[in-house]
Amino acid sequence: MTQAITMNQAEAAAEPVSVWVTTADQSKLLAAQPGVNFGSDTGTATTIDVDASTTYQTMDGFGASFTDSSAWLVNTKLNAAQRSTLMGNLFDPNAGIGLSMVRQPIGASDFTVNSADYTYDDTCCDVNDFTISHDRADTIPVLKQAKTLNPDLKIIGSPWSPPAWMKTNNSLNGGTLKPDMYGPYTDYFVKYAQAYAAEGLPIYAVTLQNEPHNEAGYPSMRMEPADQAKAAKLLGPKFASNGIGTKIIVWDHNWDEPNFPTDVLNDPAAKQYIAGSAFHCYAGDVNAQTTVHNAHPDRDLWFTECSGGDWASDFGANLKWNTQQLIIGATRNWAKSVTMWNMALDQNHGPTNGGCSNCRGVVTVDTNNGNVAYNVEYYVLGHAAKFVKPGAKRIASTTYGNDIETAAFQNPNGSIALVALNANSAQRTFKVRSAGQAFTYTLPAGAVATFTWQPGAGPSPTPTVTPTASPTPQPGIKENVYYKVTARHSGKALDVTDVSTSNGAAIQQWDYAGGNNQKWRFVNVGGGYYKIVSKHSGKALDVRSASTSNGATVQQWDYTSGTNQQWQVIDAGAGAYRIVARHSGKALDVTSASTSNGAAIQQWDYTAGTNQQFILTEIEPVP
């Protein structure tokens, strides 16, 4: 299909910005707000500059821990419908907040059912009896469900204690590792990684010991920097020889001892096997992470634990502190992830095993009726996890301490997410400026907002087209049904990013989850062409800026009858179709033939690749 195209001279309008807000008074809870638009940079309001040309660490994800207690509550105290709803709200990237990381105790912690103390091999004196059978009751089922909902889920494993027979005090509580047990202890990690991988749950990373400077009356063990260096030098080669790609992380304790991970990494023989260090929030200052980064800038950092509890019960104060210190503070100090402590606890702050007696989970499960309360931590995590995808880069943004504090990220599909906290005691109006454009916004005291936009996502100019002879409409297409549109090469569905209803939201591929942002209606507009309309937004598939170039982004936009919004559907064989833009003659295409969630949809010259062929599956009738 050949067309002569002449663009008019109308300029693209400013980029649309989607907005979600949580307020200190809980009147808004991760609530979508009316969108705003970038425009001319005017006015003198406090200015947040967002600069995507300056990048920092790559993000792994946000989440919490399915302790034995959390997994048991979700798996046994909720019926199937309640569990499905909760897990979807936690892990579904479209319908929920899309948590993408969990940190899992390796064996017992201070949160186990019936105060059980156990490891994966409680039989002296080797690891030949290793088994994760305990976890198959509750932990593994909920992790599998989480990974089904979000295939990008990463798992970090952390031991609270090795088996008692490996320790100087022959107890899970406190003590140190026997000098002759470093071999069996590192074999224990190998067995763990292999066992979980066999369950379809690959372990992304392990920390060598949870809180190595906290000997407690529950599973725990003390380690010093030299001990962790010795363990890393044994474990690294064992992972390599067994083909295990799991990362090794040191410290996994508070901000107040940055010298510990620095000392471990100062041993070059150990450092070669260590990916980086991890931190908790219970003592010290978040800036310690940058101290460690500056000492070893070639190693990464993760933030792995913080818990709320009855000692701090005010929603607004917790919203501010957690956003300020963790979502913004930890990531601006190089953390690749933010994970809270228990994913779920019951109405009595348990079940516990000798540790914190008044901790709060991300959610609270009422064991009497299965009702779930979503706590402040859920909304704090949601302001990042739902919008900052795994693989995003943190980018430069201005921040003002105790005023408008921010962290900004650019996702793999190019979209930008800006998390902003009004840490001031009064309402604040501020300006966000990026690429020479700006918008203003007002936040109440203590409120959090996430702003998202796709650079270059202005409305499309209307091209003047001299068409070829009209094609014949595809006879198999029904106008009165919604379709799932699946890329043939990946099996993933066309999806409006972040379930956005805004003009300019990018189209990506994602595992089909039944969301309305994954359902499409084909409406005949005459001449053998269709507009393809998203069920959830009512907006049409649109080639950005009416570009005729290979690689132009496909987005959603209000239908304006532009030929960049009209598509020919052509039989490609094997039950698949190619979908061709009328204005350019180029085909709908999954970028780089990627099979990953989040891969962008673009237009490209048709090459008969299966990433340019789509299967249409009827889902439901149009009401």
Q: CA-to-CA distance for 79 and 372, rounded, in angstroms? A: 12
Map tokens 């709200």 to a residue.
89
Cβ of 422: how many Cβ atoms within 10 Å?
Answer: 27
Q: What is the dihedral of CA 541, 547, 548, 551, to 10 degrees?
A: -80
Beta bridge partners of 104: 157
Beta bridge partners of 576: 573
Contact in structure between 178 and 167 (CB atoms under 8 Å): yes
Q: CA-to-CA distance for 273 and 241, rounded, in angstroms? A: 13
Q: CA-to-CA distance for 206 and 24, rounded, in angstroms? A: 36
Give, in order, the Cα–Cα distances in Å from 132 to each of 154, 177, 210, 457. Answer: 19, 22, 19, 49
Sheet arrangement for strand 372-374: 344-346, 363-365, 372-374
Phi first, then psi, for residue 110 (nearest 5°) are -85, 10
Q: CA-to-CA distance for 172 and 117, rounded, in angstroms? A: 8
Map tokens 């091999």 to a residue.
121
Q: CA-to-CA distance for 165 and 122, rounded, in angstroms? A: 7
How many degrees, rounded to 5, is the angle at CA 56 between CA 276 and CA 396? 145
Give the catalytic positions in this structure: 211, 305
Map tokens 């792994």 to a residue.
60
Q: CA-to-CA distance for 465 and 584, rounded, in angstroms? A: 10
510-515, long-range: CB within 8 Å, 24+ apart, which pairs? 510/93, 510/94, 510/597, 510/598, 511/151, 511/597, 512/484, 512/486, 513/92, 513/94, 513/95, 513/149, 515/92, 515/94, 515/95
What's the residue count for the chain? 623
Q: CA-to-CA distance for 143 and 139, rounded, in angstroms? A: 6
Q: For strand 205-207 and strand 154-159, is the pairing parallel, antiparallel, or unpaired? A: parallel
Query: Omega of the bond prior to 237 within 30 degrees of 0, cis?
Result: no
Query: Residue type at 415?
Result: S
> Residue 152: which residues within 8 A CB-CB, separation 6 or more?
61, 93, 100, 389, 390, 597, 598
Dig out the tokens for 282 from the structure: 């219970």
Helix (H, G, I), strand (E, B) or coil at 552: coil
> Residue 369: which residues within 8 A CB-CB, separation 6 or more?
none
Give, in order, the Cα–Cα distances in Å from 133 to each of 105, 119, 139, 190. Answer: 14, 10, 10, 16
Map tokens 């989850």 to a residue.
513
